[in-house]
Structure 1
Amino acid sequence: MYLTKEKKEEFFAKHGKGKNDTGSAEGQIAMFSYRISHLTEHLKQNRKDFGTQKALQTLVGKRRSLLDYLKNKDIERYRAIVKELGLRR
C-alpha cells in the first residue's frame, strides 16, 4: 500500500500541529495532495480506469473545499500551505 501509517504520521507532524493532529486543515490538504498526485500517475498509465477517475475528482473537490475554508478562516495559513505544497492557486 502506498499510504502507510508512518507516512500519514509524517504528513500530520510536518503540516499539522503535532503527530496526532489529524483534524487540521493543513494536514488534510497535504494528505489529499499526496493522494491526488498518486492517483494522477496511476491514471496516466490506466486511462480507462473510471473508478479511479471519479475518486480523483472527489479528492480534488474535497481539497478545494478545505482550501476555501482555510482562505476564509485565516489567509496567512492558506498562503503558507499553498506555497509549501506548490499548488497553482
Structure 2
Amino acid sequence: MTEFATKEGDTGSPEVQVALLSRRISDLTEHLKTHKHDHHSRRGLLLLVGQRRRLLQYLAKKDIQRFRALVERLGIRRGAAGAR
C-alpha cells in the first residue's frame, strides 16, 4: 500500500484506507463467488463497501483532485465511489 501513501509511514490517509478496503472487498467478493450461502461474510462485505463509500465521499468533499486520482488508480466506478 506504499503506492497510495502520501508520505513515509502513512497508514491513516483516506487513500491508504480506501486501498486497503478495496483489497478486502475484492477478496471477500471472490470468497462469496464460491460460498454463495455465507451470509455472515456477505454482511461484512456490505459494511466494508459502506465504509469505503463514506471515506470516498469525505475525500471528494475535501480534495476532489485526490479523489479523482484515487478512483482512477483503483478502477472504482463513480457510482460505487459515492460521489457525483
Q: Which of 70, 74, 83 is the aligned partner of 1:81?
A: 70
Determine whether 1:38 maps to 2:15.
no
CA distance in 1, matches of 2:23, 2:7: 19
TM-score, length-normalised on structure 2? 0.89
Query: Helix, strand or coil for the counterpart of 2:37?
Result: coil
Q: Which of 65, 70, 85 is the aligned partner of 2:54?
A: 65
User: Quick check: 45-54 or 13-22, which moved more?
Assistant: 13-22
CA distance in 1, matches of 2:42, 2:49: 11
TM-score, length-normalised on structure 1? 0.84
Gaps of 5+ in 1: 1-10
**Could you say which structure has the greater relative contact order, defined with CA pairs below 8 angstroms and 6 or more residues apart?**
2
CA distance in 1, matches of 2:8, 2:30: 28
State the identity as a percent.
50
Where does residue 51 of structure 1 map in the other structure? 40
Q: Which amino acid in 2 is paired with 1:54?
A: R
Gaps of 5+ in 2: 79-84
CA distance in 2, matches of 1:19, 1:45: 38
